[in-house]
Amino acid sequence: MKINYFRKKSALLSRSLRWLAVLCMCGCAQQSFAAGADSQRSDLTVYGKDSISICENALPLRYGDTTFFPGTKSGVYAIRFVTGPNSDSIVRLTLRVQPSYRVYDTLKLCQSDLPFLYGSTVISTTTPVGTHSRVLYLKTKAGCDSVIFLQLTVSASYNNEVRMSVCENEFPIRFGGREITAAGVYAIPLQSKDGCDSTIRLQVQTNPTYRRYDTVRICPSQLPYLYSGKWYTDGGDYIVENISRLGCDSITLLALQVYRYPVVNDTLHLCQSAFPYRYGSTLIMEKGDYDVKLRSKEGCDSIVKLAVVAEQSYRVPHYLHLCTNDLPYEYGDRKIVDTGYYVIALRSIYNCDSVVDLHVTIGRPSFTAFVDTICWGETYNKRGYKIPFSPFNEYYIINGRKPAANMEGCDSNFTITVRIMPMYENNDSLLVCDGDLPLTRHGRVFSAAGNHKVQLKTIHGCDSIINFCLQTTKTYHFTRTEHFCAGTVYKVGDSSFNKAGRYHVAMRTKGGCDSIIDLTLIMDDRAPYTPGQIYTKKDLYETDKHTFWISSVPNASFYRWNYTNKNWLPIGSTNDYVFALRNLQDGDTGTVSVVAGNACGLSGVSRVQVLVQETALSEAERDHNIRVYPNPANERTVLDLDGMAAEAVELRDMSGRLLLVLPVMDSRVEIPLQSYSAGYYIIRITEGRSVLKTLPLIKQ
């Protein structure tokens, strides 16, 4: 907006003086004439007219016996003049008060528009870029002084050089409305956001993408396992997406192997003389139950639940009848060659020293052998013999005699071998889908997961126990929203879709269990628009960390960030509209860029130049340990001011919009978050109009 003002001189004063002179002359003449004609008349009134035009800033004005003060309006006034000792004059004055103005104006120019004529003022080419306030003094057409308060904004016109590194799988890209399909140098005309013509010399270079293989072997205690910024809860083959050091998408085919060693039960029989006894790294001093930690050859922890039984030494009698053809007969470390009594040193089945008082009789060979079985813990009660159970024998040998068949009694002797059959306690485990219950196993029906004891019979009829651990894995029912491009087919599992909508998809988990996906498909008919301005903020607690963000782009399902400084390191995901970098040191420079994408392709690139400049900590940051916890938060978070003198706490979104103001009544301020969606927010601590501290907050 341009305003022209003109200067006009006023002859008010000279005209007033002339009128006064004329009136004085007229009054004096009339007075003289009246005195000569009639000496008794002492007053004479003279009437006249006058007009005055005056600027309102020239008030007050003295005219005759009247003073016109500021604020006087235009109009006709009767003014009295004293023209003599006894004569008055009246002037009918037409007064015109011309206004003076105070005008506020805004003017936006590009550097290429300079120099620029504004009224009678020239805005020169040396005017710096930015917004300036100027006060201009002009004249109105009526010649009155006026003031213009001008808000002048000068925007830069650029002629810059931009270097861009593009991953080979990102072509084609768009820059300034032009499609770039290969590396090279391009001259691209653009307009700045202020509408000023600019030219960018774009140098594009290509960075490769990679595919590699990695095998990691871990113990179960190391789960969950962190690999390339992502946690894994079980072994398996995974496809890991990451970013190369040049910022390009790369894929690692990860084989995660987990060594699994279950808890093992063991029983150890020791003689009293064997204590103390070392089992692995555990020193056993007496009988009892022990949890012994061992390490496998792969370096993984294993646990043995060890039951230690203390065995004693025994002295037992034994009667042995032999026939002559059995001689010599070995019993322990002795050879029996004749009838008699022998004291024989033996070891029990648990290798403990024992003594057998052996009574040997010899006759002619004639006997009958019987073999019987009993279960562990049972009393033998057959063939007229009843023998209590002894845990130190694997079998019993009973020498008996039938009714005499001959004098030697050999043919009437018999031997009963009683074998003690063990009872077993075994472990079994099974993993099934929760929809497979109830199921039948070991002759029983199981309807719930858990640890079950199953009693069975061996082939010898002995009781046995199976500790059956039944585990279930879940079937899942979850929702998922995906984008796909018009004209393509979206596949999930064995299903294919070519239209947007809601679908009910049945699939199987890795464990083979049925699962349901409520799938919402969104069809994109074009790639997203280029993201808008990139905002950035330094982290208050980590001086080498900066956060960058953009406003979400409509129709975008993911984002890809890139940066040019090789020393910077990304934090977390690069596929969100918020991106964080660490290791930004004072004086570092570089470019951070982002593109939006969906199933139809990628948008143009939005960039920001970064110059890292460290600033001193504020008084509040030096003297107070201010915390926000929990952070990230869900329904609420607490701000601990640590004694800081503050007036209010503000909650704002990433665009700076004020969402909530809480007065500071105590050192702890509770901030409710139930009504806000998940995302990134800013907490500001204020005192009057001053911002004492700014803190980041993540709402889950």
* Per-residue pLDDT tens digits for 440-472: 888 788 888 888 888 887 777 787 888 889 888
Would you call the peptide bond into 632 cis, given omega within 30 degrees of 0 as the criterion?
yes
511 has pLDDT over 80:
no
The structure tokens listed for 113 are 């528009």
| Spatial distance between the Cα atoms of 560 and 563, rounded to a whole number of angstroms | 10
Output DSSP code: residue 37: H
* Per-residue pLDDT tens digits for 157-178: 777 788 888 887 778 888 877 8
Name the amino acid, one letter, at 70: P
Residues constituting the chain: 700
Contact 218, 258 (CB under 8 A): yes
Report, as an integer, the average pLDDT of 400-420. Answer: 66
Triad 309, 315, 320: Cα angle to 5°? 120
Query: Residue 572 class from Cβ within 10 Å (0-12 exposed, 13-18 middle, 19+ buried)?
Result: exposed
Handedness of CA 127, 130, 134, 138 (dihedral sign): positive
Report, as an integer, the average pLDDT of 325-350. Answer: 81
Q: Please give the C-alpha separations between residue 235 and each of 76, 259, 262, 302, in angstroms, as whole numbers.
A: 103, 9, 16, 18
Closest CA to 582 of 549, 610, 542, 609: 542
The structure tokens listed for 552 are 């979400």
Please give the pLDDT value at position 366.
59
**High-pLDDT (> 90) share of the chain, %:** 3
Closest CA to 355 of 315, 326, 391: 315
| Spatial distance between the Cα atoms of 180 and 191, rounded to a whole number of angstroms | 18
37 has pLDDT over 60:
no
Report, as an integer, the average pLDDT of 300-323. Answer: 81
Closest CA to 628 of 537, 539, 536: 539
| Spatial distance between the Cα atoms of 595 and 100, rounded to a whole number of angstroms | 55
| Spatial distance between the Cα atoms of 148 and 123, rounded to a whole number of angstroms | 14
pTM (2 decimals)?
Answer: 0.28
Higher pLDDT: 349 or 68? It is 68
| Spatial distance between the Cα atoms of 12 and 134, rounded to a whole number of angstroms | 32
Please give the pLDDT value at position 364.
66
595 has pLDDT over 90:
yes
Higher pLDDT: 605 or 228? It is 605
Query: Residue 352 class from Cβ within 10 Å (0-12 exposed, 13-18 middle, 19+ buried)?
Result: buried
Q: Please give the C-alpha separations between residue 697 and each of 682, 693, 700, in angstroms, as whole numbers.
A: 6, 13, 10
Count of CB atoms situated within 10 Å of the CB of 123: 19
How many separate helices (H) and strands (E) can be counted in the chain?
2, 60
The structure tokens listed for 346 are 């033996």
Look at strands 173-175 and 178-180 and give their pairing. antiparallel
| Spatial distance between the Cα atoms of 470 and 448, rounded to a whole number of angstroms | 8
Instruction: List every span in the chain annotated with CATH 2.60.40.3080.
Output: 619-699
* Per-residue pLDDT tens digits for 123-158: 888 888 888 888 887 788 777 878 888 888 888 777
What is the residue whose two structure tokens read 């083959």? 237
Please give the pLDDT value at position 540.
52
| Spatial distance between the Cα atoms of 375 and 510, rounded to a whole number of angstroms | 45
624 has pLDDT over 70:
no
Report, as an integer, the average pLDDT of 264-288. Answer: 84
Please give the pLDDT value at position 39.
38
Please give the pLDDT value at position 594.
92
| Spatial distance between the Cα atoms of 601 and 236, rounded to a whole number of angstroms | 32
| Spatial distance between the Cα atoms of 649 and 232, rounded to a whole number of angstroms | 39
The structure tokens listed for 628 are 């926000």
Please give the pLDDT value at position 593.
93
Please give the pLDDT value at position 24.
35
Top CATH class, 619-699 = mainly beta
**High-pLDDT (> 70) share of the chain, %:** 87
535-611 is a CATH 2.60.40.10 domain = yes
325 three-class SS: helix
Average pLDDT, the chain: 79
Count of CB atoms situated within 10 Å of the CB of 323: 19
Contact 370, 327 (CB under 8 A): no
Contact 432, 469 (CB under 8 A): no
Please give the pLDDT value at position 615.
52
Closest CA to 506 of 497, 498, 515: 515
The structure tokens listed for 394 are 């694997």
> pLDDT confidence of 19, banded at 50, 70, 90?
very low
318 has pLDDT over 60:
yes
* Per-residue pLDDT tens digits for 84-111: 666 678 888 898 888 877 888 888 888 7
3-class secondary structure per residue, 585-647: CCCCEEEEEEEEEECCEECCCEEEEEECCCCCCCHHHHHCCCEEECCCECCEEEEECCCCCCC
Please give the pLDDT value at position 25.
34
Closest CA to 216 of 198, 199, 240: 240
| Spatial distance between the Cα atoms of 404 and 594, rounded to a whole number of angstroms | 109
Strand partners, 564: none
| Spatial distance between the Cα atoms of 580 and 571, rounded to a whole number of angstroms | 5
Strand partners, 225: 232
Please give the pLDDT value at position 109.
84
Instruction: List every span in the chain annotated with CATH 2.60.40.10.
Output: 535-611
Handedness of CA 633, 635, 641, 643 (dihedral sign): negative
| Spatial distance between the Cα atoms of 229 and 632, rounded to a whole number of angstroms | 17
Q: Please give the C-alpha separations between residue 479 and each of 506, 555, 671, in angstroms, as whole numbers.
A: 12, 20, 31
| Spatial distance between the Cα atoms of 374 and 460, rounded to a whole number of angstroms | 8
Please give the pLDDT value at position 638.
92
600 has pLDDT over 80:
yes
> pLDDT confidence of 425, banded at 50, 70, 90?
confident
| Spatial distance between the Cα atoms of 478 and 520, rounded to a whole number of angstroms | 11
